[in-house]
Amino acid sequence: MGTLNSNNNAQILPKFNPLDPEQFRNQAHQMTYPVLSQVEPGYLRTQLPQNAPNRPESFESIMKDVQNHIVPGMTHWLSPNFFAFFPATVSSAAFLGEMLCNCFNSVGFNWLAELEMIVMDWLANMLKLPKTFMFSGTGGGVLQITTSEAILCTLIAARDRKIENLGLDYIRKFVIYGSDQTHSMYTKACKVAGIFPCNIRAVPTSIESDFALSPAEFDIWFHVDAAYGGSAGKCPEFRQYLYGIERANSLSLSPHKWLLSYLDCCCMWVREPNVLVKALSTNPEYLRNKRSEYDSVFKSLRLWFVMRSYGVANLQSHIRSDVLFDAVVPRCFSLVCFRFSPNKEHELGYTEFLNKKLLDSVNSTGRIYMTHNIGATFTEDRHVISTWKLIKETTNALLRESVF
């Protein structure tokens, strides 16, 4: 029970506020870790026991290990200084959607889950995809884990459509063509699907044609992987990058790359859902009861949460606000491929050596992490400016050391 005395004491002490946002902001900003893991391989094995504990451990002791051993060994994809691979965009709406999905922990057996159908059509409408890709038209879409899965699934569908006409033995004659700019997953998916490696072709593309492919009018399955850039298509000024999509058989796009969603989330649309279903569905006895077909919520809930919480207008402005910087080859969205080339007369091998040295030096500072720059969700002007400053400082230092 309180007394007058203790009340008097309270007036002398500074006001107690356990949720002071300013104090939190200051302290949180001091909890910084290098964006790129600074540990050596094998470090974690020396920190953690050889076996799982027999008795429960306290939450506090687990979190202490997370802080001391796990976090320092991580590369932080959400850091604004993360310029590597691709941006892992997130949002608070996506986090709430994740939590809700976890609460349900539901298995969506049927790919025709209703919310998924609705969400896929919503996104297709945002991107102004043709009706041939929509459930409200003659096509449809399905959520996958990653682009890798989407490419594998479409490849199997395309393969089996041909097998049906030509017979199984033709598998060794099937040829797959991809742009020479295609993700390495393309080759892997082909191998998984039993395509002979000698039949996997890379079609040369060039900067003059914006690395575009113009598939001739052959009877081929034409898949477009728009994992990162596809999200820009919802802005009218970037819709041009999806021109001709009506000629594709399928399209994949990963909202975890530029649509404020958590890993893993990949949208895939196909013009002929029946071909995909035929190639990949099973019909075992234990799924054959009246209700198994109707599970209506799958992970689509997460994407639905993002779209409703922000609305099309905000999702468009997110694309427009992403930090862009200049590049040697024409910049496309925020994807910049630049290189250091102090002397244009250097051989290509030497230029590559210079850039590798520069990249290793910059990354070894732990302050930023870059491979092929795209920029993370929380990246602001100041991060790009300080990154550029660091790159120039490092270049100058290397020049002084006569490394170049």
Question: Does position 312 bind a second copy by CB under 8 A?
Answer: yes
Burial of 144 (0-12, 13-18, 19+ CB in 10 A): buried
Closest distance between a second copy and the C-beta of residue 107, in Å? 6
Strands (E), 129-234: 140-144, 176-179, 200-203, 223-225
Q: HEC states along 203-221?
A: ECCCHHHCCCCCCCCCCCC
Closest distance between a second copy and the C-beta of residue 217, in Å? 28
Closest distance between a second copy and the C-beta of residue 53, in Å? 5
**184 backbone dihedrals φ, ψ, rounded to 5°:** -60, -20
Closest distance between a second copy and the C-beta of residue 216, in Å? 26
Question: Does position 272 bind a second copy by CB under 8 A?
Answer: no
Residue from 185, 242, 259, 358 in contact with a second copy (CB under 8 A):
185
Residue from 120, 142, 193, 319 in contact with a second copy (CB under 8 A):
193
Question: Does position 166 bind a second copy by CB under 8 A?
Answer: no
Question: Does position 95 bind a second copy by CB under 8 A?
Answer: yes
Place of tokens 């400053």: 389
Residue from 25, 29, 45, 400 in contact with a second copy (CB under 8 A):
45
Q: Cα Rg for the chain, rounded, in angstroms? A: 26
Scanning 20-28, 75-83, 209-217, 391-399 for contacts with a second copy by CB under 8 A, the matching segment is: 75-83
Place of tokens 């996104």: 123
Q: Which of 320, 350, 313 is nearest to 334 (CA)?
A: 320
Question: What is the distance between the alpha carbons of residues 202 and 178, in angstroms, rounded to a whole number?
Answer: 5
Question: Does position 278 bind a second copy by CB under 8 A?
Answer: no
Q: Which of 282, 236, 27 is nearest to 126 (CA)?
A: 236
Residue from 142, 150, 156, 384 in contact with a second copy (CB under 8 A):
156
Scanning 18-26, 45-53, 218-226, 242-250 for contacts with a second copy by CB under 8 A, the matching segment is: 45-53
How many Cβ atoms are within 10 Å of 82's Cβ, its own excluded? 27
- Which lies closer to a second copy via its Cβ, residue 23 or residue 364? 364
One symbol per residue from 97 to 116: x for binding a second copy (CB under 8 A), - otherwise; what is it?
Answer: -xxx-x-xxxx-x----xx-
Does the bond joining 264 to the residue before it have cis omega, within 30 degrees of 0? yes
Strands (E), 254-339: 266-270
- Which lies closer to a second copy via its Cβ, residue 169 or residue 345? 169
Q: Which of 60, 90, 97 is nearest to 76 (CA)?
A: 90
Closest distance between a second copy and the C-beta of residue 284, in Å? 4
Closest distance between a second copy and the C-beta of residue 403, in Å? 16
Residue from 180, 210, 246, 360 in contact with a second copy (CB under 8 A):
360
Which DSSP helix (H) or strand (E) runs through 83? Answer: strand 82-83
Question: Does position 73 bind a second copy by CB under 8 A?
Answer: yes
Question: Does position 270 bind a second copy by CB under 8 A?
Answer: no
Question: Does position 20 bind a second copy by CB under 8 A?
Answer: no
Question: What is the distance between the alpha carbons of residues 117 and 21, in angstroms, rounded to a whole number?
Answer: 41
At residue 352, what is the residue type? E
How many Cβ atoms are within 10 Å of 186's Cβ, its own excluded? 21
Does the bond joining 121 to the residue before it have cis omega, within 30 degrees of 0? no
Question: What is the distance between the alpha carbons of residues 189 and 185, in angstroms, rounded to a whole number?
Answer: 6
Number of residues near a second copy (by CB under 8 A):
106
- Which lies closer to a second copy via its Cβ, residue 247 or residue 339? 339
Residue 251: beta bridge partners?
Answer: 224, 269
- Which lies closer to a second copy via its Cβ, residue 159 or residue 383? 159
Report the site for a second copy in 198-257 (rule: CB under 8 A). Answer: none
Question: What is the distance between the alpha carbons of residues 297 and 114, in angstroms, rounded to a whole number?
Answer: 7
Residue from 1, 14, 17, 169 in contact with a second copy (CB under 8 A):
169
Scanning 122-130, 216-224, 325-333, 387-395 for contacts with a second copy by CB under 8 A, the matching segment is: 122-130
Question: Does position 19 bind a second copy by CB under 8 A?
Answer: no
Closest distance between a second copy and the C-beta of residue 363, in Å? 6
At residue 136, what is the residue type? S
Residue from 33, 177, 179, 196 in contact with a second copy (CB under 8 A):
196
Question: Does position 291 bind a second copy by CB under 8 A?
Answer: yes
